[in-house]
Amino acid sequence: MLIIKVMSGITGNTKLMDLLDEPVPGVGTYEDFNTIDWVREKSKDRDRHREITSKSKLSTPALLESISDAFSGWLLMLLIGLWSGALAGGIDILAHWLTDLKEGLCLSGFWYDHEHCCWGSNETTFQERDKCPEWQSWAELLGGSSVGASAYIVDYLMFIIWALLFAFLAVILVRAFAPYACGSGIPEIKTILSGFIIRGYLGKWTLIIKTVTLVLAVSSGLSLGKEGPLVHVACCCANILCHLFTKYRKNEAKRREKYAAAGVSYYFPLKTLWRSFFAALVAAFTLRSINPFGNSRLVLFYVEFHTPWHMVELVPFVLLGIFGGLWGAIFIRANIAWCRRRKNTCLGRYPVLEVLVVTGATALLSFPNSYTRMSGSELISELFNDCSLLDSSQLCGYITYSNTIPDRPAGPDVYTALWQLALALVFKMLITVVTFGMKVPSGLFIPSMAVGAIAGRLLGVGMEQLALNHHDSAIFKSWCSPGADCITPGLYAMVGAAACLGGVTRMTISLVVIMFELTGGLEYIVPLMAATMTSKWVADAFGREGIYEAHIRLNGYPFLEPKEEYGSKALAQDVMRPRRSDPPLAVLTQEGMSVGEVEAMVADTDYSGFPVVVCQESQRLVGFILRRDLVISLGACNARQRQEGVVSASLVFFTDHVPAQPTSGPPAVKLRGILDLSPFTVTDHTPMEITVDIFRKLGLRQSLVTHNGRLLGIITKKDVLKHMAQMANRDPDSILFN
């Protein structure tokens, strides 16, 4: 609402206001890499809502508009759910096919993956479900034979070549079309949800390229998962669909609610929770009708264990928790050190080469070991599964004396499997550190869970054999009688996976919920809780940041941790600017300044906003004006109303009423419309801990500091973050954005 008034008397006032009371385009928007003002966005939306409601009483079309406005949120969630569910299903199917393509081809149709190829075959027995004549390995296709050293080498080479091809395509596509499509996206989305703006991060190119390259990256066999990137994909869908509805297109806060509902439920009010419900419902439907897991259940790894656990087993569960915590802490440090090295040395200049080298190494090392050759989710699924009698897997190679399952000493197959698993564990731990952060889409859930599941299964089999051979010892006597199947190695794998995931991501309650959703095992809540809590404690002892927070910090994003405890006794006056040695705060006065003076002040400083005071002497605060709004308004007024006689000498007024002027002077510029009349203030004696709390809870961009009613200074979100970095002995200049 920019109002330029040619003063010809007080009566002209209202008429001119009406004529010019149209918004200047751009006022109220934000620049890239800046933080939004939550309070302003929310009240903008409430104004819009009120306007529609009051109009709806006047006419039928307006009433219909109001109803469609109310339902647009639900419609949007429906569309987001459908679209992102369909994408997730499609990515899953494609990734399966491409992964199997590395090993061979289906003769009955090249578009079948290994499993579906053999489903259609008549010669498949239940025992060897994955062997059928229709599925031919590359050695069979190219050399005609499936046995012997040369066939093995052909398969090995084809495996590496396909992996390199997929990885090369992925990294090239990311670099050429959408640099934002790399990584997991979770750190950036957390920052965006907290109010930061990164233009294009959730755009259509990012969506297309991330979807395609995610399939390629997963298929290439790299040690990465697709859950994190799928959250990014869902947020892209949300963002693109938001542009169909005015309500969301024009409001940064409302749009973020949808991102959160689409991705993670985080930071938002109860209504959003209900809506994300709805999205989950629709996504579940879509997933169900596509049915990528082929078992008509909505859970990923459905497990059923047939023995309950015993209290004594909490000891190994806690040990798994400690392992998970240590691995989490070490992984975060190593990965961050590696990423920093990539950023600061010449390594960062050859991302394509880096991806190719890592993919080559991964393929080379993973092919000989069947546990690394299979995909991460297959591995986890195999490790979670309990052995039934019919199970042909190596891990179930127990010696069976009778036709009953219980009391099974491990056979040579199991020992081979254990060795292979131990090697796979070391390999996965090392390769994941260098993989996460490369310029391809990469998630962390599956690799972290795989590491934990391997460790858990190893410990589980160990415990099982220990119990078998020491039935009479004091520990096992009371609950594990000979012949009973008292220890479930699959449960250990599940607990280990949860512990490692908790150590790496530090997700709180949500982790156990996710584990439920992934496994459906509701009875094992106590083992899971014991392990994840231990893991969190151990990992927190080495540093409180999870991997996503560490990456946010590495990139210098302005993210105010909701959980970080603040221990300093500093007051607002110690953090605010100007400091004691600085020049005084740049303020505008509500009357008496000319357009030229204002323009000079804007040009001389780079602050993103200016307080407006009654006069320089009293420093009594009137309001706050954003630099961007001020520049746009003055610019527009220069361009549009030059003919109306606004010159540099024109006076700028922020007051309610412009005093009558001498008719000879140039016309005045009235800018009260873009002035924020309810700026946030704290007193200079407010402890910083309270100030930080206010910034967090209200999502502020800045707060003014007063003393006995006089304006003293200003604290921005960047100041708060810098101060907190200083308190934690980190480099305050690592905070890059405002």
Q: Which of 6, 16, 42, 266 binds its own copies (CB under 8 A)?
A: 42
Task: Count residues binding its own copies (CB under 8 A).
Answer: 69
Which of 141, 298, 312, 322 touches its own copies by CB under 8 A?
Answer: 298
Shortest Å, Cβ 43 to its own copies: 6
Report the residue number, 153 or 315, with the smaller CB distance to its own copies.
315
What is the Cα–Cα distance from 54 to 50, expressed in whole angstroms? Answer: 6
Residue 129 or residue 707: which is nearer to its own copies going by CB? 707
Residue 267 CB, shortest distance to its own copies, in Å, is 12
Look at residue 608 and give its three-state secondary structure: coil
Shortest distance (Å) from residue 38 CB to its own copies: 9
Question: Would you say the C-alpha torsion 91, 97, 98, 100 has a positive or negative sign?
Answer: positive
Strand partners, 682: 705
Report how far Cα 318 is from the mean position of its chain's Cα atoms: 29
CA distance 380 to 712: 59
Q: How far is the CB of 590 from its own copies (least distance, A)?
A: 9
- Which amino acid, one-letter code, is at 683? T
Binding mask 485-524 for its own copies (x = CB under 8 A): -----------------------xx------xx--x-xx-
477 is a contact residue toward its own copies (CB under 8 A): no
46 counts as binding its own copies under rule CB under 8 A: yes
On the question of a cis peptide bond just before residue 578, with omega within 30 degrees of 0, the verdict is yes
- In the three-class reduction of DSSP (H, G, I as helix; E, B as strand; rest coil), residue 569 is classed as coil
Give the CA dihedral 207, 212, 215, 217, nearest 10 degrees. -90
* List 32, 574, 693, 731, residue binding its own copies (CB under 8 A): 693
For the CB of residue 702, give the shortest distance to its own copies in the complex, in Å: 15
Minimal CA–CA distance to 313: which of 179, 456, 409, 196?
456
Structure tokens at 298: 């909505």
Of the candidates 67, 281, 399, 426, which one interacts with its own copies according to CB under 8 A? Answer: 281
Measured from the CB atom, the residue of 462 and 543 that comes closer to its own copies is 543
Quick one: which of 147, 149, 270, 390 contacts its own copies (CB under 8 A)? 270
> What string marks each residue from 22 to 41 as x (binds its own copies by CB under 8 A) or -?
-----------------x--
Token representation of residue 275 = 């809506």
Q: In this structure, are strands 104-106 and 135-137 parallel, antiparallel, or unpaired? A: antiparallel
Smallest CA-to-CA distance from 677 within 622, 714, 715, 633 is with 622
From the CB of 64, what's the least distance to its own copies, in Å? 19
Q: Could you tell me the smallest distance in angstroms from the CB atom of residue 505 to its own copies?
A: 13
Q: Which of 413, 597, 599, 689 binds its own copies (CB under 8 A)?
A: 689
Going by C-alpha positions, the residue among 178, 185, 234, 267 that lies closest to residue 557 is: 185
Q: Which two tokens stand for residue 510?
A: 């949500």
Q: Are 181 and 439 in contact (CB under 8 A)?
A: no
DSSP three-state, residue 37: coil
Pick between residue 138 and residue 524 the one whose CB is nearest to its own copies.
524
The least distance separating its own copies from the CB of residue 681, rounded to whole angstroms, comes to 6
Q: Around 126, how many Cα atoms within 13 Å sit in the side-chain half-sphere?
A: 3
Cβ at position 715, least distance to its own copies in Å: 13
Rounded Cα distance, 438 and 422, in Å:
26
Complete DSSP assignment for 370-430: HHHHS-HHHHHHHHHSPPPTT--SGGG-B--SSSSSSS--B-HHHHHHHHHHHHHHHHHHH
The tokens for 34 are 């800046």
CB proximity list for 178: less than 8 A, separation 6 or greater: 203, 205, 206, 208, 209, 210
168 binds its own copies (CB under 8 A): no
Minimum CB–partner distance for residue 502 and its own copies (Å): 11
Q: Does 75 bind its own copies (CB under 8 A)?
A: no
Interaction between residue 251 and its own copies (CB under 8 A): no
Which residue's CB is nearer to its own copies, number 42 or number 204? 42
Interaction between residue 620 and its own copies (CB under 8 A): yes
Task: Output 8 or 53, the one with its CB closest to its own copies.
Answer: 53
* Contact pattern for its own copies over residues 175 through 214, marking x by CB under 8 A: ----------------------------------------
Using CB under 8 A as the binding rule, the residues of this chain from 522 to 581 that contact its own copies are 522-523, 525-526, 529-530, 533, 536, 562-563, 566-567, 569, 572
Pair 632, 26: CB distance under 8 Å: yes
Q: How far is the CB of 594 from its own copies (least distance, A)?
A: 22
Residues 652-681 that bind its own copies (CB under 8 A): 677-679, 681
| C-alpha angle 70-74-75 in degrees, rounded to nearest 5 | 100
Question: Tokens 């934690």 map to which residue?
Answer: 728
Contact 72, 245 (CB under 8 A): yes
CA-closest candidate to residue 433, choices 227, 670, 222: 222
Residue 299 contacts residue 517 (beta carbons within 8 Å): yes
Shortest Å, Cβ 517 to its own copies: 8
Per-residue x/- mask for its own copies, residues 319 to 358, rule CB under 8 A? ----------------------------------------
Please report, as a single letter, which amino acid is at residue 262.
A
| Closer residue to its own copies, CB minimum distance, 69 or 413 | 69
| Phi, psi dihedrals of residue 35, rounded to the nearest 5° | -100, 140
Rule CB under 8 A: is residue 273 a binding residue for its own copies?
A: yes
Instruction: Please identify, using beta-carbon distances, which residue of 568 and 638 lies nearer to its own copies.
Output: 568
Where along the sequence are the contacts to its own copies (CB under 8 A)? 39, 42-43, 46, 49-50, 53, 269-271, 273-274, 277-278, 280-281, 284-285, 296-299, 308, 508-509, 516-517, 520, 522-523, 525-526, 529-530, 533, 536, 562-563, 566-567, 569, 572, 614, 618-623, 677-679, 681-683, 685-687, 689-690, 693-694, 697-698, 706, 708-711
